[in-house]
Structure 1
Amino acid sequence: MTDKNRLIAVEIDEDTLGASGPDAEHERRVAIFDLIEQNSFALPEHGEGPFILTLSKVERRLVFAVKDEHGKDVHTFILSLNPFRGVIRDYFMICDSYYDAIRTQSPHQIEAIDMARRGVHNEGSELLADRLKGKVEVDFLTARRLFTLICALHAGQARAAG
């Protein structure tokens, strides 16, 4: 990771991805903090960063609007969320199981569920990295943090729709 090939800010379009409440807003802030804290984000065809990423949603697509550190548009691309539906659903189900297990299960059972949770999270991260190929270069840890943010955004939207 260089100082240039990284994100220095992530902004969320509240009109299309507004949080449904304080819990969803907190999850988003934590995911963004973790992503900004350590990431590798390069646009090889569009010069060096550092970059500012604005996320918005159009129908079932996530719009990545990338700007340079001065706010000048660099590149925008769109990512369909349809391929992520199953893995996000599975991730939320196993997270619910994990939180239930914390209250009632043995440490061994909790650890087994947590390992499964991490496995599903890795699956989502790998899918995201694959879907970003040709658009942006990220390392695996950045893909994990971006997937966490996508889940936090999805959770906020699901609660708002529900």
Structure 2
Amino acid sequence: MSDSGTQGDTTERLCAVVLDESTFGRSSNEIEHERAIAIYDLVEENSFQPLAPSAPDVTEFHGPYRLNLSLQEARLVFEVLFEDGGQLATHILSLTPFRKIVKDYYMICDSYYAAIKTATPSQIEAIDMGRRGLHNEGSQLLLDRLSGKIAMDFNTARRLFTLVCVLYWKG
């Protein structure tokens, strides 16, 4: 996988991302804003390639792909579909490895949004660096957990991790 997103093979990408509305619901304006930006950015530029289809009748597959994200019984569900909506694969990940990182990420995000109102630029920058560090750590964990199932670049993983945080927080 290259880091070029949609500039390379346009079939190895997501064309749509849907969050299960029954899983998450509405949240704070900041979280809703992050979710909307993550979905928009993800669809605009990503590198996403399922590595092994779970559908027994599928021997060859090409994207672009649709991705439905949801939570079911404290598990993160990645439902990968063909562009036309046909089922390709479903990957279910335990949320346990993500718990601490998501909790810490939300705590530092709360600090960041509070700091924007009263802190100095250098204080805001320090908090933001910590926030980005946790986000990178969560993105790498997501890459590791999907290894062998879905190939993606780090920027795609970052945007997906933002969506995981939204689902986890509301789930």
> TM-score, length-normalised on structure 1?
0.88
Question: Is 1:39 aligned with 2:43?
Answer: no
Aligned-partner SS, 1:100:
helix
- Matching of residue 135 in structure 1 with residue 149 in structure 2: yes
**What's 2:58 paired with?**
none
Contact 1:44 1:136 in 2 (8 A): yes
Question: Pick from 85, 109, 112: which aligns with 1:71?
Answer: 85
Count of aligned positions: 156
* Structure 2 unmatched ranges of 5 or more: 1-7, 54-60
Percent identity at matched positions? Answer: 55
Answer yes or no: is 1:123 the counterpart of 2:137: yes
Where do 1:43-62 residues align within 5 Å? 43-46=50-53, 47-62=61-76
Q: 2:160 aligns with which of 123, 146, 149?
A: 146
Secondary structure at the counterpart of residue 45 of structure 1: coil
**Deviations for 1:106-153, whole angstroms, at most 9, x for unmatched residues?**
111111111111101100001110001011001000000000111122
Q: CA deviation at 1:98?
A: 1.1
Post-superposition offset of 1:28: 2.8
| RMSD, aligned CA | 1.7
What are the residue-to-residue correspondences of 1:81-100 with 2, within 5 Å? 81-100=95-114
What is the match of residue 24 of structure 2? 18
Task: Tell me the CA shift for residue 22 of structure 1.
Answer: 7.1
Shift of 1:13: 2.0
* CA–CA distance in structure 2, aligned partners of residues 125 and 14 of structure 1: 23
The partner residue of 1:5 within 7, 12, 37 is 12
CA–CA distance in 2 between the matches of 1:12 and 1:101? 30
Greater fraction of residues in helix: 1
How far the C-alpha of 1:37 sits from its partner, in A, is 1.1
Contact persistence 2:71–2:77 (CA under 8 A): yes
Tell me if structure 2 keeps the 8 A contact 1:28–1:149. yes
The Cα offsets for residues 11-69 of structure 1, whole Å up to 9 and x where unpaired, read as 12223x13135735554332211111111100133432110011122111011111111
